[in-house]
Amino acid sequence: MTSRFRLALVPGLGTACLSLALAGCSVEHTTNRCASDSITLDGLVKCVRDMHAGTRSCATAERGPTAVPVAGRRLLRYGETTKHGGTSRGIVFEGARGAEVRAPVGGRVTYADPWRSYGDLLIIDSCTTVALMAGAFSPEVIAGQNIAAGDAVATLRQTSSEAPVLYLEVREDDATVDPAGIIPAD
């Protein structure tokens, strides 16, 4: 067994995630492998963060400016009970079809594709803060792209007779935190 193969078996990483990144594969190919190898959202976040670790510029440990991701009312807040009986780890916004989705934090887009039952998923890594947005939207950014807080990153799509929704989850030091304490008030 080579040492590169052993590195690829680090717990929490997809079997091919680290080895593909070390081999110099394209961001898109490696991101797709992270998505197919990751069973949980936590695993996907860890894989894409590790893959992009060498390409981020993390000169300061402070969070930069933040922005509300979409205009609309908040349907579900952090810590509230979801319709499935779980506890919300983020905020659900109701927006209008065609509304611009804006980056809540600046950083590097580490994932911008559909993923499992989340629908479309964007992960933005700003070194100290990771923002995840999920729902029915059309991404306007790609993995590997650097963006600033407030940049347009997607457009909401409607997939049913109800208004489109956007889920926002924020993590600091690998733990979910209440996004309301980070993004500006509406």
Q: What is the pLDDT along the chain (186 residues), one digit of tens a residue?
A: 333 333 333 333 344 444 434 444 445 545 667 777 667 878 888 888 777 776 666 654 456 678 999 999 999 999 999 988 999 999 999 999 999 999 999 999 999 998 877 889 999 998 888 999 999 999 999 998 999 999 999 999 987 778 899 999 999 988 999 999 888 876
Residue 101 contacts residue 155 (beta carbons within 8 Å):
yes
pLDDT at 64: 67
pLDDT at 140: 95
- What pTM did the predictor assign? 0.76
Tokens of 50: 């590790």
Residues 6+ away with beta carbon under 8 Å from 86: none
Residue 97 contacts residue 118 (beta carbons within 8 Å):
no
pLDDT at 9: 33
pLDDT at 30: 54
Domains of the chain, by residue range, sit at 3-55, 73-181
Residues 6+ away with beta carbon under 8 Å from 48: 31, 34, 110, 111, 123, 125, 143
pLDDT at 7: 32
Class at the top of the CATH hierarchy for domain 73-181 = mainly beta
Residue 72 contacts residue 141 (beta carbons within 8 Å):
no
pLDDT at 128: 82
pLDDT at 8: 34
d(Cα 113, Cα 31) in Å, to the nearest integer? 9
pLDDT at 5: 30
| Closest residue by Cα to residue 87 from 100, 99, 78 | 78
Residue 113 contacts residue 121 (beta carbons within 8 Å):
yes
